[in-house]
Amino acid sequence: MKTLPQTCQQCLELYAKALEELELYSQRAKKLNTTEANRELIINFEITHELALKLMGKYFEKMGKGPFSGSRDLTVEAFHAELIDDGKAWLDIVIDRIKYNPIYDLETQHDFLDRILKDYIPLLEKFEDNMSKKLDE
């Protein structure tokens, strides 16, 4: 059975739900600071980032742009289209996701966890605001 393609608004709704869950997992990881809580935070961060990329791609598809060769090209285009404010930080997310794969020992991912909590979640929240405004235009 085929599914209907998602609209930008549907992608935004999925993204917003994932972001809410990510915020809950971040609070849990801060509170518990266990290997399992940290692993769940990373997994949920990656899901949320993937949904952000999907939303960007769907938005550009709607605008008649693309396809893009990967997350870096999509991120650069999103910066130029003012969907994201800090292109370098978003590219850092892409690099960190490659560099800090969850299959590695979490002790080596301390920096990645800190960046998720301090830097990346606020970027994802700002992206939600920007996309909501763009889709309301």
Can you give the pLDDT at residue 33? 84
Rounded CA separation 55/129 (Å): 13
Question: Could you read off the pLDDT of 47-100 as tens digits, one per residue?
Answer: 999 999 999 999 999 999 978 888 999 999 999 999 999 999 999 999 888 887
Is the pLDDT score of 107 beyond 80? no
Of 128, 122, 116, 119, give the one whose Cα is nearest residue 30. Answer: 116
List the structure tokens of 58. Answer: 């769907």
For the chain, how big is the Rg over CA atoms in Å?
Answer: 15
Q: Are 125 and 19 in contact (CB under 8 A)?
A: yes
Can you give the pLDDT at residue 105? 60
Can you give the pLDDT at residue 99? 80
Can you give the pLDDT at residue 102? 57
Can you give the pLDDT at residue 3? 60
Q: Are 47 and 84 in contact (CB under 8 A)?
A: no
What is the pTM for the complete model shown?
A: 0.90
| pLDDT grade for 103, boundaries at 50, 70 and 90 | low
Is the pLDDT score of 104 beyond 80? no
Is the pLDDT score of 118 beyond 90? yes
Q: Are 15 and 48 in contact (CB under 8 A)?
A: yes
Read out DSSP for 86-118?
Answer: -HHHHHHHHHHHHHT-TTS-GGGGHHHHHHIII
Rounded CA separation 19/47 (Å): 9
- When the candidates are 3.40.50.10860, 1.20.120.330, 3.40.50.2000, 1.10.260.40, the CATH number that belongs to 8-136 is 1.20.120.330
Question: Could you read off the pLDDT of 14-57 as tens digits, one per residue?
Answer: 999 999 999 999 999 999 988 899 989 999 999 999 999 999 99
Rounded CA separation 116/45 (Å): 7
